Amino acid sequence: MSAVIEYAPLLWQGLLTTILVTVLSGALCLVVAFTAGLARLSSHRIISWPAGVFIEVFRGTSLLVQMFWLFFALPFFGIQLHPLTAAVLALGLNEGAYAAEVVRGAIASRAKGQTEACIALGMEPALRLRRIIIPQSIPAMLPPFGNVMVDLLKNTSLVSLVTVADLTFRAQMIRSSTGQTTAIFITILVMYFVLSYLLTLLTSWLERRYALDRKALAAQRKESQLMKVGAA
Amino acid sequence: MRPSTEPQPLATPVDLAPDPVIRFQNVSKNWGSNQVLKSLNFEVAPGEKVSIIGPSGSGKTTILRILMTLETPSEGLVKVDGDVLWDVTAGQKVRETRQMRETRRKIGMVFQQFNLFPHMTAMENVIEAPIHVLGMDKAEAKARAADLLNLVGLGKHMNHTPPQMSGGQQQRVAIARALAMRPKVLLFDEPTSALDPELIGEVLNVIRNLAHTTDMTMLMVTHEMRFAEEISDRVVMFDNGAAVESGPPAQIFKDPQQERTRTFLRAVLQH
Amino acid sequence: MIWDNNFAVSVIPLLLEGLWVTVRITLLGTLLAAVLGIFFAILRRLAIPVLSPAVSFFVVFIRGTPLLVQAYCAFFVLPAYGISFDAFTTGVVVIGVNYSAYMAEVYRSGIQGVPKGQWEAATALSLPGARTWSRIILPQAIRTVVPMLGNYLIQMFKDSAVLSAITVVELMATAQAIGSSSFRYLEPLTLAALLFLAISYPASRLVNRLERRYAPQH
Ligand SMILES: Nc1ncnc2c1ncn2[C@@H]1O[C@H](COP(=O)(O)OP(=O)(O)OP(=O)(O)O)[C@@H](O)[C@H]1O
Ligand SMILES: [Mg+2]
C-alpha cells in the first residue's frame, strides 16, 4: 500500500483528469445524441441519411480505432489534435452515436396519438418536438443514457493509450516506477467502481425527478401541506 | 363572419342557405385495394350539429381524420370555411402546405383515447397551444383555461396530471384543450367509447352544454344513439364509405327511409 | 496524394491475419461468457448465503470497472502470484469474464421472464431441481436472450481492440505495429476501421432481424 500513499497526489491528478474527460465527452455525447438522433428521424433523406451513416460508422468500428485514427492518422491531413482533444472527440462521437439510437428509439416509440393531438392543436413539428415529444421521451431515455454514461466513464481509461494522463495512465506510471502492481491496480479499480456507482445514483435521482407525474406529485404535496396548515 | 362591404343582391330563397363550413366533394380514400371512402359528397352548414352513425369500418373515423389532416385523401376536394384543405387528383403525391396548416387551425378534435399530454397538468395541457401556437399572453391563456376547466367541471383538478385523473375527467380536459383554440369546427370521434359506463354521462353533459350554448359547428361520430338523437340537428348514416341517408334525428331514428339504416338501428338499439 | 494505395494494398494480408485473431478471440470469449454467465445467473437466483451475494457483487464490480484496467490486472498482477498464460489466452479470459457479467444480467431477465406457472408445473410433476433448470427453465430463458447474446458478441468484437494494450496481436495491434514501423498510420488505421465495420455492420443487421423474430409474443 505504501506506493499508493506515496503517489496519492499523482493518482488524485489522474482522477481529476478522468473526471474532466468524462464531463467534456459526456457533454459532447449529449449534443451528438440529440443532433444525430433527431436528424435520423427526419423525413428528408438529405438529413436522415448522413445521420444514419454517422451512427452506423461510429457504432460499427472500435472506439480505440477511432481514437487512434484521430490521434495518429489525422496528422496526415495536416491536422494535429491535442491528445485531450482527440480523446474527447472520439469518446463523445462514439458514445454519442450509441446515445443517438437511444434518442431515436425513445422518440419513435412515443404514442402516435400524441403527435396527432399536436397536429389537431395546430402545433408545428419543431414545437411538437420541443414541447411535447422530447419532454415526454426523457424519462424513457434516462436509464439507457445512464448506461451510456457509465460506459463512457469506463472507456475514458482508453485515453491513457493516446498519452492523456488520466487515472489509468498514472497507475501505469506508478506501476513501472515502483513495481507495486497489485496495490495500485486494486486502488484504481475501486476508484472507477465508485465513480460508476455515483453515476448510477445520479441517473436514478434524475429518473425520479423527471418521472412523468412529478409535477402532479409536487402539486399534491403542496395541497396537502396547505390543508394541514388550514387544519392547524 | 364574411365581410359584407359589397352590396348584397336581393336574396332568393336558395341563397338563404348559408355556404357550408365543411364540404367534401368526390372524396375517395383507399388503403391498398380497400376502398374506404367512395367518391363521398358531404356538407355541413355553419353552426350545425351533425352526428355520424354507422357500422364499424364504414369510414366514419376516416372522415374526421381527413378533416384534421391526419389522413390524406386519395382523391377529391375538401373545403373548410371556404378555404381549400385538400385538393387531390388521383395518383398525385401530396405534401403539407401552408394553406393546409392555416385552414386546419379552424378545426379542433377530441380523440377517442383523449391523447392528453401525460407530462403536463390539466392546466398546462390547455394553455400549451394558445401560448405557443396563437402567441397568447400567458396570464390571459391561464385565465381562459381556468374558465374552460370550470366550464367542464374540473376547476378543482387544474394541477392534476392525466395519470391522476379518471377517463371521464381526462376527456373533459381534452374538450377544454380543444376549445381553448377557439375552433370554428369541433370534431368528436367516439368521445365516450373508451370510458367506463359510469363515466360516460359526465362527458356527454359537457358536450350537450356545448351543443346548446355555442354556435360552433360540431361533427360527432358516436354510438350513443339516444344522445345523437337529442343533441343533433342532423344525423348521417354511413355505410361502406358512403352516406346512405341523412336527415333530422326524428326522421332517421323514427322513420328511416333506407333498409340499411333500419337494420343497423335495429341491431344497435336492441340491447 | 495523401493516401498511398500501393502501401495500403501491401498491408492488407497482415491486417487480415490480425482480423482472424480478433475473430477467434471474439468467438472463444463469447463462448466463455455465455457459459460463465449462466452459472452466475443460476448462482444468484439460488440465493445461497454468502456465495450468491458474492457473485452479485462480482458481477456489479466487473460491470463498474474498465475492461482495460481489468486486462492490466490480469496481465501484470496475476503473474506475480504465479498465474500466467500467453497474451492470447489472457485476452480471451479477460474479455470472456468481463462479458459474462453482462450476460448474467441477460440470463437473469430471461429466467425472470419464464412464467411462474412453469416452475409450479415442474413442482407438481416432482421434477428434480437440476432437471427443472436444464429442461424447463433454461431452454425457454435462452430463447428470449438469443438476440441480446448476438448484440454482445458484436460489442465484444469491437471491444477486443482494447486487448492490444496487453500485447495481444489482433487487428488493432497489427494496424498500430504497421503504423509505427512504417511511419504511415493513415492506411492501416483506416483499413482496420473498415474491416471492423465490414463485419459488425452486417452482423448487427442480422441480429436486428433475429430480434424481431424472437421478440416475446405478448
Ligand atoms: N391506417 C390504416 N391502414 C389500413 N386500413 C385502414 C387504416 N385506417 C383505417 N383503415 C380501414 O379503413 C376502414 C374504415 O376505417 P374507419 O376507422 O374510418 O372506420 P369507422 O367507421 O371509424 O369504424 P369504427 O366504428 O370501428 O371506429 C376500415 O376497414 C379500416 O380497416
Ligand atoms: Mg372509428
Distance from CA of A76 to the nearest CA of C (A): 7
Sorting pLDDT into bands at 50, 70 and 90, what band is A217? low
pLDDT of residue A26 exceeding 80: yes
Interface pTM (ipTM) of the complex?
Answer: 0.90
User: Which of the two residues, A92 and B70, has the higher pLDDT score?
Assistant: A92
Sorting pLDDT into bands at 50, 70 and 90, what band is A212? low
Closest CB to A69: pick one of C69, C73, C193: C193
For chain A positions 2-31, those within 8 Å of chain C (CB to CB) are none
Distance from CA of B66 to the nearest CA of A (A): 11
User: Which among B129, B120, B202, B124 is positioned nearest to B162, based on CA atoms?
Assistant: B120
Sorting pLDDT into bands at 50, 70 and 90, what band is A230? very low
Check residue C98 and give its pLDDT. 97
B113 with A113: Cβ contact below 8 A:
yes
User: Which of the two residues, A191 and C136, has the higher pLDDT score?
Assistant: A191
Residue B192 inside a domain? The answer is: yes
Residue A169 Cα to ligand 1 midpoint, Å, equals 63
Sorting pLDDT into bands at 50, 70 and 90, what band is A54? very high
All residues of chain B having their beta carbon less than 8 Å from the beta carbon of residue A111 are 115
B121 with A122: Cβ contact below 8 A:
no
Q: Confirm or reject: Cβ of B73 under 6 Å from ligand 1.
A: no
Check residue A222 and give its pLDDT. 59
Check residue C94 and give its pLDDT. 96
Check residue C217 and give its pLDDT. 47
CA distance B158 to B150: 9
Check residue A120 and give its pLDDT. 92
Are C107 and C141 in contact by the 8 Å Cβ rule? The answer is yes
CA distance A229 to B240: 62
Residue B90 Cα to ligand 1 midpoint, Å, equals 20
Question: How far from C129 is each of C37, C38, C111, CA to CA, in Å?
Answer: 19, 15, 14
Sorting pLDDT into bands at 50, 70 and 90, what band is A43? confident
Closest CB to C2: pick one of A59, A60, A76: A76
Are A88 and A24 in contact by the 8 Å Cβ rule? The answer is yes
Q: Report residue B90 CA to chain centroid gap.
A: 26
Residue B66 inside a domain? The answer is: no
Residue B224 inside a domain? The answer is: yes
Chains A and B touch (3+ CB pairs under 8 A): yes
Residue B245 inside a domain? The answer is: yes
CA distance A135 to C71: 40
Closest CB to B132: pick one of A117, A127, A216: A127
- How many folded domains does chain B comprise? 1
Check residue A221 and give its pLDDT. 58
pTM: 0.80
Mean confidence (pLDDT) of chain C: 90
Residue B15 inside a domain? The answer is: no
- Give, using CA atoms, the residue closest to atom 6 of ligand 1: B31
User: Which among A147, A45, A40 is positioned nearest to A100, based on CA atoms?
Assistant: A40
**CATH label of the domain that carries residue B152:** 3.40.50.300
Q: Rg (Cα) of chain C, in Å, rounded?
A: 21
Residue C17's φ and ψ, nearest 5 degrees, are: -60, -45
Ranked by mean pLDDT, the top range of A114-123, C11-20, C37-46 is: C11-20
Domain range for residue B151? 49-58+96-269
pLDDT of residue A218 exceeding 70: no
Q: Which residues contact C35 (CB under 8 A, 6 or more apart)?
A: C100
Domains present along chain C, CATH in parentheses? 5-213 (1.10.3720.10)
Residue B84's φ and ψ, nearest 5 degrees, are: -75, 125
In chain B (271 residues long), the average pLDDT of successive 10-residue segments reads 47 59 94 92 94 94 92 93 92 84 91 88 92 92 96 93 92 95 94 92 94 94 92 94 92 92 88 58
Number of C-alpha atoms within 13 angstroms, CB side, residue B25? 14
- Which three cell numbers, joined as nine digits, stand for B100? 393546409
Distance from CA of C23 to the nearest CA of A (A): 14
Q: Confirm or reject: Cβ of B60 under 6 Å from ligand 1.
A: yes
Number of C-alpha atoms within 13 angstroms, CB side, residue A57? 14
Are B70 and A115 in contact by the 8 Å Cβ rule? The answer is no
In the block, residue with C-alpha cell 445520479: A202
CA distance C134 to C149: 19
Q: Which of B56, B68, B237 for a ligand 1 pocket mutation test, highest count of atoms within 8 Å of Cβ?
A: B56
Q: Which residues contact A6 (CB under 8 A, 6 or more apart)?
A: A178
Check residue C139 and give its pLDDT. 82
Check residue B11 and give its pLDDT. 43
User: Chains near A, with 3+ CB pairs < 8 A?
Assistant: B, C
Contact status of C193 with chain A (Cβ, < 8 Å): yes
Instruction: Write out pLDDT tens, residues C47-71.
Output: 888 999 999 999 999 999 999 999 9
Instruction: Write out pLDDT tens, residues A8-23.
Output: 899 999 999 999 999 9
Residue B74 Cα to ligand 1 midpoint, Å, equals 15
Domains present along chain A, CATH in parentheses? 2-231 (1.10.3720.10)
Check residue A224 and give its pLDDT. 56
Sorting pLDDT into bands at 50, 70 and 90, what band is C210? confident
Check residue C129 and give its pLDDT. 81
Distance from CA of A61 to the nearest CA of C (A): 5
Residue B239 inside a domain? The answer is: yes
A157 with C2: Cβ contact below 8 A:
no
Residue B4 inside a domain? The answer is: no
Instruction: Write out pLDDT tens, residues A145-181.
Output: 999 999 999 999 999 999 999 999 999 999 888 888 8
Which amino acid, one-letter code, is at B157? H
Residue B85 inside a domain? The answer is: no
Contact status of C197 with chain A (Cβ, < 8 Å): yes
